[in-house]
Amino acid sequence: MGLVHEGEARAFEVIFDRHSGAAFSLAYRMCGRRAMAEDVVQEAFLAVWRSGARYDRARGSVRSWVLGVVHNRAIDALRRGVVREGRNVGDEGLAERLAAAERTDVEVARREDARAVRSALEDLPPDQRRAIELAYFGGFTHSQIAEMLDLPVGTVKGRMRLGLTKMRISLGDPVEVVL
């Protein structure tokens, strides 16, 4: 990050290559639209390039800092989007208007399942939802999530286990509770 602050383009490329996939996953999960997520990631990495000096190693890893920037940019984009929501057509709305190449009934079932899972996820407490989103949508390990959230690994695992159990119950999947 010191080299990025000094304007080293190659150092920035390394940061981008290492963290752009996770950044896009987070932005897409938060925004729900591919185009908006791409814009968020672009704005976030532009901010990283311009403000590399703001990174403080004592406060966490480069990845957690970059994802924090992405998170903040996504929130800003969503706030701007609420104002313009009536004028924009979302990616999902556009996809639903196109003719399906095959098996529409399978696609309908898949979308219904996805809506049910999103709804169950939204009903979780924020700390459980965040841990699950980072693991399943961000592709992070328990250790990485613990580092990003500044929590013990056991706490992350517990939040995920509790959240997934609640989601199973919400989705109508009977769960054996072992004490």
| Claim to verify: residue 94 and residue 110 sit in the same structural domain | no
> What is the pLDDT at residue 5?
65
Amino acid in the structure at residue 55: Y
Name the nearest CA neighbour of 5 among 56, 44, 49, 41.
Answer: 49
Q: 132: Cβ–Cβ under 8 A, 6 or more apart, which residues? A: 121, 124, 159, 160, 163, 164, 167
Q: Residue 55: give its domain's CATH number.
A: 1.10.1740.10
Residue 177 CB-half CA count within 13 A? 6
Q: Which residue has the tokens 């000096």?
A: 53
Domain count, the chain: 2
**What is the distance between the alpha carbons of residues 99 and 145, in angstroms, rounded to a whole number?**
40
How many secondary structure helices (H) and strands (E) does the chain include?
Answer: 9, 0
Q: Residue 157: give its domain's CATH number.
A: 1.10.10.10
| Claim to verify: residue 7 and residue 73 sit in the same structural domain | yes
Where a domain ends, among 98, 121, 147? Answer: 98
Structure-model confidence comparison of residues 164 and 80, the more confident one: 164
CB 142 within 8 A of CB 157: yes
Is residue 111 domain-resident?
Answer: yes
CB 90 within 8 A of CB 33: yes
- As a whole number, the mean pLDDT across the chain is 78
| Claim to verify: residue 122 and residue 78 sit in the same structural domain | no
43-100 pLDDT per residue, tens: 888 887 777 657 667 777 888 888 888 888 888 887 776 445 444 445 555 555 555 5
Is residue 158 domain-resident?
Answer: yes
Q: 86: Cβ–Cβ under 8 A, 6 or more apart, which residues? A: none
Name the nearest CA neighbour of 61 among 137, 158, 143.
Answer: 143
Q: What is the pTM of this model?
A: 0.46
| Claim to verify: residue 113 and residue 66 sit in the same structural domain | no
Q: Domain range spanning residue 139?
A: 103-171
Q: What are the C-alpha distances in Å from 26 to residues 73, 113, 140, 157?
A: 11, 21, 11, 20
